[in-house]
């Protein structure tokens, strides 16, 4: 599978091998991109702390934390585009692809234009120094410009997200990952240059956040001029019906993203409310270690999502069944191995990482290990369900998880203390997402069976 030359997609076997090849390359480069991003973030800490000082560095962290809302900024339109591109690719329908790209571009231009206007107004209306709670004269002077600088680069990436989703839709996530690595290196280099030049916080934020923006601009330029020039957005290809379809699909992706953020933020809030904020690290620190397993499983599973959609459009139903079984087997083996290793070595690892500040209990370790497995199976099944067109099912299951999950979190934390959080999330995910997704996946495969 690790080869640059594609397989012949004229046959079902060749298409199967080509999907796996693209998924494998995307998974490998995703790991490289993630490692590069994390390493870049780690290097920026000592650089920025010493240069900015405590007050301005705190503002840097608060502004950067807004990236948690990146998944909802485009209202789900870009993921609706990805789904449409995968379907058009499977059908060999270039005209549908052009209409979807042109229409999605119009929607994102409108969204970012409105966002830009609100951002400009906020400069004069929002008391940014009070929002960031800064006190030094330098931090007060830079608060509003820093927020605007971040917002500008943020909106640019929202618009450029359509380039990423087009590549993902054609199962070419490897291209995005290469440019993500380049963007991270550009950010780090620009940050160092900005510190040497002694620029202020707004300029530093523009330099750091501008790396990915520049990388995505070049990525898009190559996409629309060399790789797929026929796909360039055109005004005459904007279609009202396609707009309704993209927004109808996008709203369910938006619901899913908001529900995910809500449920996982609720875990921290419930701990702080029922116990105290000092107990939050007792869950948060070991959870970050356990999240490595969830991430590694997702790096392999997520590239299959557009492949499922393309295979469905081509009618390669046998490939759908085989791949779903293989993905489930992979999670059972790899996720099981990680969970066992985490239970065995997670405690000493967490203690070493934070120099003994947190010492997780066996119940916490077992709960996080169980949650890792449940999340792994849930991700396999929901990516399949979404890939074969069950976007509404995905959104509905997330709503159910939030409605059920918050009371369950309260109950488990009141019963078991902080150790109850991973068990509550694992049981909620199993009951509200994993098992129902397995039912919908089985029903979808049954409907695809020849009659």
The whole-chain average pLDDT of the chain stands at: 90
Residues of 237-265 as b/e, b for ≥16 C-beta within 10 angstroms? bbbeebbebbbebbbbbbbbbbbeebbee
Quote the DSSP letter at residue 450.
-
- The confidence score (pLDDT) of residue 28 equals 93
- The confidence score (pLDDT) of residue 262 equals 87
Q: Calculate mean pLDDT across residues 103-113.
A: 93
Q: Is pLDDT above 50 for 155?
A: yes
d(CA 162, CA 4) in angstroms, rounded, equals 25
Q: At a CB cut-off of 8 Å and minimum separation 6, what does 48 contact?
A: 57, 60, 191, 195, 204
Confidence of residue 11 (pLDDT cuts 50, 70, 90): confident
d(CA 25, CA 307) in angstroms, rounded, equals 13
pLDDT tens for 163-207 read 999 999 999 999 999 999 999 999 999 999 999 998 988 999 899
pLDDT tens for 52-93 read 877 787 788 777 766 655 556 677 888 899 999 999 999 999
pLDDT tens for 242-291 read 999 999 888 898 888 889 888 888 888 898 888 887 788 888 889 988 99
- The confidence score (pLDDT) of residue 21 equals 93
Structural domain boundaries in the chain: 12-238, 250-448
pTM metric for this prediction: 0.88
| Residue 271 CA: distances (Å) to CA of 43, 113, 168, 280, 400 | 31, 39, 37, 6, 21
- The confidence score (pLDDT) of residue 101 equals 96
Confidence of residue 234 (pLDDT cuts 50, 70, 90): very high
- The confidence score (pLDDT) of residue 309 equals 94
Helices (H), 302-390: 304-314, 317-330, 336-353, 362-387
- The confidence score (pLDDT) of residue 451 equals 44
pLDDT tens for 330-370 read 999 999 999 999 999 999 998 888 788 888 999 999 999 99
CA 342 to chain centre: 24
Pick from 410, 404, 401: which is nearest to 433 by CA? Answer: 401
- The confidence score (pLDDT) of residue 190 equals 93
Tokens of 44: 């920026």
As a dihedral over the C-alpha atoms of residue 213, residue 214, residue 217, residue 219, rounded to 10 degrees, the angle is: -100
Q: Calculate mean pLDDT across residues 119-142.
A: 87
Q: Is pLDDT above 50 for 129?
A: yes
Pick from 143, 151, 156, 153: which is nearest to 200 by CA? Answer: 143
């Amino acid at each position: 599978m690790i080869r640059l030359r594609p397989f012949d997609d004229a046959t079902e076997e060749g298409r199967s091998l080509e999907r796996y090849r693209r998924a494998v390359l995307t998974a490998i480069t995703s790991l490289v991109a993630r490692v590069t991003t994390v390493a870049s973030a780690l290097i920026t800490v000592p650089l920025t702390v010493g240069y900015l000082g405590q007050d301005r560095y705190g503002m840097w962290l608060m502004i950067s934390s807004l990236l948690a809302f990146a998944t909802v900024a485009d209202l789900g339109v870009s993921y609706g585009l990805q789904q449409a591109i995968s379907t058009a690719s499977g059908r060999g329908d270039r005209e549908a692809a052009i209409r979807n790209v042109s229409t999605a571009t119009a929607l994102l231009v409108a969204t970012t234009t409105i966002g830009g206007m609100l951002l400009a107004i906020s400069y004069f209306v929002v008391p940014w120094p009070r929002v960031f709670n800064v006190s030094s004269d330098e931090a007060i002077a830079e608060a509003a410009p820093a927020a605007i600088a971040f917002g500008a680069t943020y909106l640019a990436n929202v618009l450029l997200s359509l380039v990423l989703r087009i590549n993902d839709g054609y199962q070419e996530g490897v291209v995005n990952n290469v440019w993500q690595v380049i963007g991270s290196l550009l950010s780090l280099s620009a940050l160092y240059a900005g510190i040497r030049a002694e620029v202020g916080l707004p300029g530093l934020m523009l330099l750091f956040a501008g790396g990915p923006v520049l990388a995505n601009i070049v990525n898009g330029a190559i996409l629309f001029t060399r790789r797929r020039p026929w796909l360039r957005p055109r005004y005459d290809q904007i279609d009202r019906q396609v707009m309704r379809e993209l927004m109808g699909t996008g709203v369910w992706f938006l619901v899913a993203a908001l529900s995910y953020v809500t449920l996982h933020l609720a875990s921290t809030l419930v701990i702080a409310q029922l116990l105290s904020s000092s107990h939050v690290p007792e869950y948060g620190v070991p959870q970050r270690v356990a999240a490595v397993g969830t991430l590694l499983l997702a790096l392999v599973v997520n590239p299959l999502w557009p492949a499922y959609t393309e295979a469905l459009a081509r009618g390669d139903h046998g490939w759908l069944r085989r791949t779903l079984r293989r993905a489930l087997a992979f999670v059972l083996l790899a996720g099981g191995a990680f969970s066992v290793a985490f239970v065995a070595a997670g405690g000493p690892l967490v203690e070493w990482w934070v120099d003994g500040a947190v010492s997780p209990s066996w119940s916490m370790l077992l709960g996080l290990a169980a949650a890792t497995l449940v999340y792994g199976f849930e991700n396999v099944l929901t990516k399949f369900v979404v890939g074969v067109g069950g976007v509404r099912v995905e959104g509905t299951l997330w709503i159910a998880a939030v409605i059920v999950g918050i009371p369950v979190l309260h109950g488990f934390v009141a019963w078991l203390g902080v150790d109850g959080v991973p068990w509550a999330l694992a049981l909620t995910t199993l009951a509200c997402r994993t098992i129902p997704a397995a039912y919908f996946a089985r029903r979808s495969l049954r409907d695809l069976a020849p009659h």
